[in-house]
Amino acid sequence: MPSKKKHNTFPRGVHPGDFKELSKGRPIEALPPPAEVILPVSQHIGAPAKPVVAKGDEVKKGQLVAEPGGFVSAAVHASVSGKVKAIEPRPHALGKPVQSIIIESDGRDEWAEGLLGENDIDALSPEEIREKVRNAGIVGLGGAAFPTHVKLGPPPDKPIDSAIINAVECEPFLTCDYRLMLERTADIVAGLRLIMKALAAKRGYIAVEANKPDAYDLLAEASAGYDDVDMVMLEVKYPQGAELQLIEATLGRQVPSGALPMEVGACVQNVGTAVAIYEACRFNKPLIERVVTVTGRGAGKPANLLVRLGTPVEELMQRCEASARINKLILGGPMMGLAQYTSEVAVIKGTSGVLLMTDAEEFDYQACIRCGRCVDHCPMGLVPSDLSIICEAGKVDEMMEHNIMDCKECGCCAYVCPARRPIVHWIKLGKAALAVQKAKQEKKSA
């Protein structure tokens, strides 16, 4: 049972309403494969994948259709069997068209040869685990979409002693991870064991927020036979599941400014990622589907759906009886999700939720009133008010002085701002301006 002692947490943060009651009681349901899938070659942090198929090619489910474009990149696989209809730019969750592979389903849903085998996962070496994860195109399914094989292969001088399963799901409305905790409990623990082996980590941790006691108990029972795995109950607070905050709450270690978790000997993986790692190592199954929460007041029938990657979001909306009164469509949750200008986007590896809102308010923001609330709540200890003013003014040279890259865009600042300033929006634009400046400088020095 969860300890009655004070739950672990991190400094600052906020306590938004979670609205999880809309979908938390809905078991995972497989959405039928669509007639056509749209697979962007960029579904991850890093270099875009490179297509290895051409228009007119016949493909099978699970077949490689785009290979990694570099070390920090991820493969893309066909999520249905059929014919490559086109390779062309299509709308993407990040807001601009991205080169995509469009596959027209043949309705047979046949697996590519060599997949869905039976492996003895206990016999796999760390190298074999990393290779299977890389071949499967697995990325972080909590939203960041960082290629998982990279996190499982740190440099020799950065040993990892602690592997943490992020079972927090602090983002309001989303319940896809919660359902996985209840329905795929043993697979999550098996995924953790594979992660620990790949990293040679001495200890594993499963960190659960205190509003999920049933999931905590199931995971504790499933991991009880492992003396090197600890359960950790965390305070209900946002962004408790953010990587750096989770490490601090779980291990009491602070990742230095500008550094990665490996600097403090830690590696964090989401519960969905753990399941995907287990499936890749056990069955040679590539990442071709994921669980997506469809929720919000605009969803007539909220659901947690197992969805093929590349499925048009419109099909999820139809399945969940989307209201005609929707005035905002968000992929992800309300704090860190991205509002969409069209429903013609497709589900990609990082799509954790489809939030349908009928009562989204619009605000006219004002000048900063210097109340300091954003500073009081920023989990990274930044001064978001100053950052937003600098970014709004386009003062690129000052952005780094205020540690703009330490901002994780969690949205706590905008949530508490009485002036309704779009602080995260300005910071995103500031980072984009920095990237343009860096590219120009590199071009000059080339």
Kindly give the confidence (pLDDT) of every residue in the chain, 446 residues in length, as a single tens digit, with 9 standing for 90 and above: 444 456 889 999 999 999 999 999 999 999 999 999 999 999 999 999 999 999 999 999 999 999 999 999 999 999 999 999 999 999 999 888 999 999 999 999 999 998 988 899 999 999 999 999 999 999 999 978 999 999 999 999 999 999 999 999 999 999 999 999 999 999 999 999 999 999 999 999 999 999 999 999 999 999 999 999 999 999 999 999 999 999 999 999 999 998 999 999 999 999 999 999 999 999 999 999 999 999 999 999 999 999 999 999 999 999 999 999 999 999 999 999 999 999 999 999 999 999 999 988 888 899 999 999 999 999 999 999 999 999 999 999 899 999 999 999 999 999 999 999 999 999 999 999 998 888 888 888 87
- Structural domain includes residue 326: no
Q: What is the total count of domains within the chain?
A: 2
Q: Do 164 and 275 fall within a single domain? A: yes
Q: Do 410 and 272 fall within a single domain? A: no
Domain boundary among 283, 309, 341: 283
Q: Do 381 and 271 fall within a single domain? A: no
Q: Do 157 and 270 fall within a single domain? A: yes
Query: Which residue, among 393, 371, 391, has the nearest Cα to 435 in the 3D structure?
Result: 391
Domain boundary among 249, 283, 317: 283
pLDDT at 443: 80
- Structural domain includes residue 308: no
- On whether the CB atoms of residues 298 and 278 are closer than 8 A, the answer is no
Cis amide prior to 239 (ω within 30 degrees): yes
- 166 by DSSP, 3-state: which? strand
Structural domain for 404, as ranges:
373-445
Longest Cα–Cα distance in the chain: 62
**Amino acid identity at 119:** N
CA dihedral 124, 126, 128, 130 (to 10 degrees): 130
Angle (CA) 196 201 202, round 5°: 115
Query: Which residue, among 191, 207, 210, 342, has the nearest Cα to 279 in the 3D structure?
Result: 191
- Structural domain includes residue 351: no
Cite the DSSP H helix spans in 184-330.
Answer: 185-199, 213-222, 243-251, 271-283, 313-319
Q: Report how far residue 294's alpha carbon sits from residue 354's, in angstroms, rounded to the nearest whole number.
A: 5
**Amino acid identity at 52:** V
Model pTM above 0.85: yes
Domain with 242 in it: what CATH number? Answer: 3.40.50.11540
- Structural domain includes residue 347: no
Q: How many CB atoms lie within 10 A of CB 244?
A: 22
- Structural domain includes residue 377: yes
Q: Report how far residue 151's alpha carbon sits from residue 55's, in angstroms, rounded to the nearest whole number.
A: 34
Q: Do 384 and 279 fall within a single domain? A: no
